[in-house]
């Protein structure tokens, strides 16, 4: 299945291995780490509520699928931004989305773990 031209890294100076590794780190922290710890908090602690109003509204309306859907939407937007930046040879916007998601994900995962055991 061929990718749309704007989703392709062909013709760019981007190392596809580096791109993959950056996004694996973002998925591990923001995707898996934050989602798993948020779900654990929702299931096991009735006194802790989601601090992010948008995520709280999605969870209230749709439950865990709302949380996962929101995370997927954020990933798709950020990957699109990163690929577009790579095609324009914009190093800052190429690196910013996965690094920002990884930092936010690591922070929220650590905070959630602290809330679980704190």
The helix/strand/coil state of 3 is: coil
Confidence of residue 77 (pLDDT cuts 50, 70, 90): very high
Q: Is residue 66 part of a domain?
A: yes
Question: CB-based contacts of 103: which residues, under 8 Å, 6+ apart?
Answer: 29
- Is pLDDT of 22 > 50? yes
Residue 23 near residue 79, CB atoms below 8 Å = yes
Q: What is the pLDDT of residue 11?
A: 62
- Is pLDDT of 2 > 50? no
The tokens describing 44, both together, are 């096991």
Q: Is residue 4 part of a domain?
A: no
d(CA 42, CA 85): 36
Q: What is the pLDDT of residue 7?
A: 55
* Dihedral in degrees, nearest 10, Cα atoms 100, 101, 105, 107: 10
Domain containing 112 equals 14-117
Q: What is the pLDDT of residue 5?
A: 55
Q: Is residue 47 part of a domain?
A: yes
Question: CB-based contacts of 21: which residues, under 8 Å, 6+ apart?
Answer: none
pTM: 0.84
Q: Is residue 1 part of a domain?
A: no
More confident residue, 18 or 1: 18
Q: Is residue 75 part of a domain?
A: yes
Q: Is residue 5 part of a domain?
A: no
Q: Which pLDDT tens digit goes with each residue over 29-76?
A: 999 999 999 999 988 888 888 888 999 999 999 999 999 999 999 999
Q: Which pLDDT tens digit goes with each residue over 90-105?
A: 888 989 999 999 999 9
Q: Is residue 9 part of a domain?
A: no
Q: Is residue 7 part of a domain?
A: no
How many domains would you assign to the chain?
A: 1
């Amino acid at each position: 299945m061929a990718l749309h031209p704007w989703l392709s890294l062909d013709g760019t100076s981007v190392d596809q291995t580096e791109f993959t590794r950056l996004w694996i780190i973002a998925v591990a922290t923001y995707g898996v780490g934050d989602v798993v710890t948020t779900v654990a908090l929702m299931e096991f602690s009735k006194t802790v509520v989601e601090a992010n109003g948008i995520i709280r509204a999605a969870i209230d309306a749709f439950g865990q699928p709302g949380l996962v859907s929101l995370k997927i939407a954020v990933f798709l937007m950020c990957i699109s931004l990163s690929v577009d930046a790579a095609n324009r040879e914009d190093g800052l916007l190429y690196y910013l989305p996965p690094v920002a998601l990884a930092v936010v994900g690591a922070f929220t995962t650590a905070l959630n773990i602290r809330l679980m055991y704190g």
